Amino acid sequence: MYLSYLDAIILGIVEGLTEYLPVSSTGHLTITQKLLGLQIDNPTVTGYTATIQIGAIAATLIYFWKDIVRLFLAWTGGLRDKESRTHDYTLAWAVVIGSIPIGIVGFLGRHIIEGALRSLWVVAGALLAWSVVMWIAEIVYSRKVAAGAERAEDDVTIRDGVILGLVQCFSLIPGVSRSGATISAGLLAGINRVVATRLSFFMAIPALTAAGLFGLREVDTNIIGWGPMALGILVSFVVAYASIAWLLRFVATNSLRAFIYYRIVLGTVLLALLGTGVMTAT
């Protein structure tokens, strides 16, 4: 198996573009790997795609640097002095606690996630199935907004963090989408769409960092090479930064329905290709 610099650029673009959009980066990377002729369940390939997430993490850290510092200072300050606790302290705890479930489930189920679930049948099914969840979430959210029950950032609780964190575990299934899972959970809870999206970004930092560092251990640099590795991370960073900025502007005035339609079309086409034998699942 050989990964060229062109392969690295393509995978970096796909990772950066889809990591934060609710369309499933793992699902798109799996499809892309297949189209590039790579073995999608090979540990080095899965490790590489996990590692280039470091670029997306860096983009998140830079884009939300002021917010991250604010929450960190509120959290550490609240730990030292109960009297100084603000809502930022609660929000920080929501992110911290909400990030734990996916770490535990991801570690315990890593062999299944990197093996049996790396099938395009799984990707196609998850793309379609989670589209239903996203559609229901949009309906519920619209009703809450109409009833004046929409919740702002100041209304987010630690309980919300736990719920979003538990739902985030579904994103370990290729095709579900981590952002699609967390944003949907936020909408079902009546949290403002932009706030839910920002929470999804914050909760991505621990999850993607852990996945990236763990994935790095699986990469055989004698096969991949440090050059394609660095290039994939760089491209992922640039594209992810632009993707974050675009998505925040988009959700401020639009629902997730455009992404739902896209997921349904992609999932249906993928099922057709697999069913007719044009593509193989692994």
Instruction: Quick: pLDDT tens for 111-123.
Output: 888 778 888 999 9
Average pLDDT along the chain:
91
51-74: per-residue pLDDT in tens?
A: 888 899 999 999 999 999 999 999
- Better pLDDT: 115 or 192: 192
Model confidence at 12, in pLDDT bands (50, 70, 90)? very high
pLDDT at 115: 76
pLDDT at 167: 96
pLDDT at 107: 84
267-279: per-residue pLDDT in tens?
A: 999 999 999 999 8
Question: Which one, of 62, 8, 34, lies nearest residue 174 by Cα?
Answer: 34
25-56: per-residue pLDDT in tens?
A: 989 998 999 899 888 877 778 788 888 888 99
211-256: per-residue pLDDT in tens?
A: 777 766 666 666 677 888 899 999 999 999 999 999 999 999 999 9
Mean pLDDT of 13-22: 94
| Cα–Cα dist 75/221, whole Å | 39
Predicted confidence (pLDDT) at residue 1 exceeds the cutoff of 60: no
77 in Cβ contact with 84 (< 8 Å): yes
pLDDT at 222: 67
pLDDT at 221: 66
pLDDT at 274: 95
Predicted confidence (pLDDT) at residue 6 exceeds the cutoff of 90: yes
Instruction: Please give the full DSSP string across 240-270, using - where no structure is assigned.
Output: HHHHHHHHHHHHHH--SHHHHHHHHHHHHHH
* Entry pTM: 0.91
Mean pLDDT of 157-167: 96
pLDDT at 60: 93
279 in Cβ contact with 123 (< 8 Å): no
Percent of the chain surpassing pLDDT 90: 71
Q: Where are the alpha helices (DSSP H) in the chain?
A: 5-18, 25-35, 43-51, 53-63, 65-80, 87-98, 100-108, 110-114, 120-146, 158-168, 178-188, 193-218, 226-253, 257-275
pLDDT at 211: 73
- Better pLDDT: 218 or 124: 124
pLDDT at 166: 96
